[in-house]
Amino acid sequence: MTAANLTLPGTSYGDAGATELFNPTTGASFTQIGAASAAEVDAAIERAQAAYLAWRDVAPGTKAALLRAFAAQVTEHRDELAALEVLNSGHVLGNALWEADNVANVLNYYAGAPERHAGQQIPVPGGVDITFHEPLGVVGVIVPWNFPMPIAGWGFAPALAAGNAVVLKPAEVTPLTALRLAELALEAGLPEHLLQVVTGRGSVVGQRFVDHPLVRKVCFTGSTEVGQGIMRGCADQIKRLTLELGGKSANIIFDDVDIEAAAAAAPGAVFENSGQDCCARSRILVQQNVYEKFLAALEPAVTKLVVGDPAGAGTDLGPLITARHRDSVTQYIAGADIAYSGSAPGGDGYFVAPSVAMPRGVDDPIWRDEVFGPVVAVMPFADEAEAIRLANDTEFGLSGSIYTRDIGRALRVARGVESGNLSINSHSSVRYWTPFGGFKQSGLGRELGPDALNSFSEVKNVFISTEN
Ligand code: NAP
Ligand code: MG
């Protein structure tokens, strides 16, 4: 399926104007999407509340069947969803297909939940004590532009499975796949208004999710700065909150591994999705005695990357999301000491060549800031203690990798790094059946995995007297 024969999903919102969408591969505007006003958001939240009250009482097996039907619709439309993401976000086609499949997988995984999210029976004198997992009500999911499909699914699938209704705000620049997913939910038979996608500005739509009392939980993924504002706003109503924020994760390479292999694997851990990934291992720490060898082996692994048309076979990296974001990334690169770079096409697309930087110290912005583009900074370390200290010298703590054949050291370093998601001798990405989230300013709470249901429900304890 190509962009030319795609039918674009639309939206009924528009009281706050419209957003022009640009194809990041060409820089050309291709459609406009209506932006909701605060009153339109409130109306959507009220419809969601009504849908929640009905959904809450739907039989567990029926909920499960509907979520599985939704997953099947997503799978059936994976090519179309992927083509929308290539057009709207410039994602490489193979990645976009993986992202559509991830939504189906997450739906299927949580489709097992309505029939299994059991409470407890706790021994007490004089009666019986049981607990229930009660849904929260309406959940507001706020999604960034870097992974529009997966991050939407990580919010709505467990939220719906736990018995809630969802209002979802996609990033202003990448609304198309979310809009299509909501259509597919209806086609699968999910009740009307149970999953609504509300397009528009963060400061209007996202802010209403924070302020409206019928929204009982906000799931936010995006920048730390906006996340801080949302946390402050949620405090007014003690609103439940999950935050997935930025990262500046370390890839730590000790001298006892196959250095060529570690160098060959490093670009994939940071340049995937053109570096627009909160889990990007954008700092590489290499043990001093293999540092030069590593840098030499990293160069061909970076320069061979093919940057170009995301729909083309053999493309490794597509464009960045917007002209503005490209300018921000290229400014970081211009201000850094660059050891070597790959190449990128010219023209009007938002392409940036992958680059390797030599930080001038731990205060260099290229070492400290989340650039969110295809640039990685490499620094040597002396020993295990220094590796851990440097890895932790950041306000973030989302992911990271540790390369060593010494199992004791691997586990010591894994326990020492203040980060929510680590991989040893691997750059494994997020798995939907394991927990995902950040330490420190990378987030609050965990998504995915077996426990996510608990953060979309409240525990209710009920005591029944047997003596009356
Ligand atoms: P952002 O501003 O944090 O946006 C994320 C989401 O929050 C979008 O849907 C956005 O809507 C919405 N939003 C913005 N202001 C809001 C508010 N006051 N109340 C409620 N919702 C609000 O992120 P960004 O501007 O797209 O990206 C900036 C930087 O954030 C990136 O360069 C990167 O460093 C980081 N980032 C991290 C992740 C991650 O996965 N952790 C993802 C994306 C970005 P609009 O799109 O309408 O503004
Ligand atoms: Mg922003």
- Spatial distance between the Cα atoms of 148 and 106, rounded to a whole number of angstroms: 14
Nearest protein CA to atom 25 of ligand 1, as residue: 223
Least Cα distance to 105 among 430, 379, 453 occurs for 430
Least Cα distance to 155 among 178, 173, 180, 186 occurs for 178
Atom index in ligand 1 nearest the CA of residue 151 equals 40
Q: What is the residue-wise DSSP string for 225-274?
A: HHHHHHHHHHHTTT-EEEEE-----EEEE-TTS-HHHHHHHHHHHHHGGG
Rounded distance from Cα 8 to ligand 2 centre (Å): 24
Least Cα distance to 394 among 427, 414, 367, 423 occurs for 367
- Ligand 1 pocket member 19 (CB < 6 A): no
End-to-end Cα spacing for the chain: 68
* Residue type at 175 in one-letter notation: P
Least Cα distance to 196 among 150, 147, 141 occurs for 141
Query: Which ligand neighbours the alpha carbon of 332 most closely?
Result: 1
- Spatial distance between the Cα atoms of 166 and 154, rounded to a whole number of angstroms: 12
Query: Which ligand neighbours the alpha carbon of 321 most closely?
Result: 1
- Ligand 1 pocket member 372 (CB < 6 A): yes
User: Would you state the pLDDT for residue 3?
Assistant: 62
User: Strand order in 443-444's β-sheet?
Assistant: 195-197, 165-169, 138-142, 215-221, 240-244, 443-444
Whether 167 and 198 have beta carbons less than 8 Å apart is answered as yes
Least Cα distance to 264 among 225, 228, 294 occurs for 294
Q: Tokens 């990007």 — which residue?
A: 280
- Ligand 1 pocket member 432 (CB < 6 A): no
Whether 433 and 449 have beta carbons less than 8 Å apart is answered as yes
Nearest protein CA to atom 42 of ligand 1, as residue: 222
Take residue 334 and report the two structure tokens written for it: 């211009």
Atom index in ligand 1 nearest the CA of residue 328 equals 32
Take residue 56 and report the two structure tokens written for it: 């809450």
- Ligand 1 pocket member 144 (CB < 6 A): yes
- Ligand 1 pocket member 205 (CB < 6 A): no
Q: Tokens 């160098």 — which residue?
A: 263
Least Cα distance to 442 among 414, 413, 420 occurs for 420
Our answer to whether residue 278 is catalytic in this structure is yes
Instruction: Please list the pLDDT of the chain residue by residue as tens digits (468 residues).
Output: 666 679 999 999 999 999 999 999 999 999 999 999 999 999 999 999 999 999 999 999 999 999 999 999 999 999 999 999 999 999 999 999 999 999 999 999 999 999 999 999 999 999 999 999 999 999 999 999 999 999 999 999 999 999 999 999 999 999 999 999 999 999 999 999 999 999 999 999 999 999 999 999 999 999 999 999 999 999 999 999 999 999 999 999 999 999 999 999 999 999 999 999 999 999 999 999 999 999 999 999 999 999 999 999 999 999 999 999 999 999 999 999 999 999 999 999 999 999 999 999 999 999 999 999 999 999 999 999 999 999 999 999 999 999 999 999 999 999 999 999 999 999 987 999 999 999 999 999 999 999 999 999 999 999 999 998
Length of the chain: 468
Our answer to whether residue 244 is catalytic in this structure is yes
Atom index in ligand 1 nearest the CA of residue 200 equals 47
Rounded distance from Cα 280 to ligand 2 centre (Å): 19
Q: For a pocket test of ligand 1, which of 143, 215, 223, 330 has the largest count of ligand atoms closer than 8 A to its C-beta? A: 223
Q: For residue 399, give the 3-state DSSP assignment.
A: strand
Burial class (CB in 10 A: 0-12, 13-18, 19+), 433: exposed
* Residue type at 372 in one-letter notation: F
Q: What is the residue-wise DSSP string for 115-150?
A: TT----EE--TTEEEEEEEEE-SEEEEE--SSSHHH
Residues with Cβ within 8 Å of residue 205, at least 6 apart in sequence: 35, 36, 41, 169, 198, 199
Kindly report the CA angle at 364 between 358 and 367, in degrees rounded to 5? 65
Where b means 16+ CB within 10 Å and e means fewer, 207-243 reads bbbbbbebbbbbbbbbebebbebbbebbeeeebbbbb
Measured CA to CA in angstroms, residue 19 lies from 16, 33, 148, 175 at distances of 10, 5, 17, 10
Q: For a pocket test of ligand 1, which of 226, 272, 448 has the largest count of ligand atoms closer than 8 A to its C-beta? A: 226
User: Would you state the pLDDT for residue 209?
Assistant: 98
Nearest protein CA to atom 13 of ligand 1, as residue: 202
Q: For residue 222, give the 3-state DSSP assignment.
A: coil
250-253 vs 399-403, strand pairing mode = parallel
- Ligand 1 pocket member 344 (CB < 6 A): no
- Ligand 1 pocket member 273 (CB < 6 A): no
Least Cα distance to 342 among 373, 301, 313 occurs for 301
Kindly report the CA angle at 343 between 341 and 346, in degrees rounded to 5? 135
Least Cα distance to 201 among 15, 384, 61 occurs for 15
- Spatial distance between the Cα atoms of 23 and 85, rounded to a whole number of angstroms: 10
User: Would you state the pLDDT for residue 429?
Assistant: 77
- Ligand 1 pocket member 222 (CB < 6 A): yes
- Ligand 1 pocket member 202 (CB < 6 A): yes
User: Would you state the pLDDT for residue 428?
Assistant: 85
Residues with Cβ within 8 Å of residue 336, at least 6 apart in sequence: 355, 357, 358, 359, 364, 365, 366, 375, 377
Global pTM?
Answer: 0.97
Rounded distance from Cα 148 to ligand 2 centre (Å): 15
Take residue 350 and report the two structure tokens written for it: 């938002």
Q: Which of 40, 244, 272, 447 is catalytic?
A: 244
User: Would you state the pLDDT for residue 468?
Assistant: 83
- Spatial distance between the Cα atoms of 373 and 319, rounded to a whole number of angstroms: 10
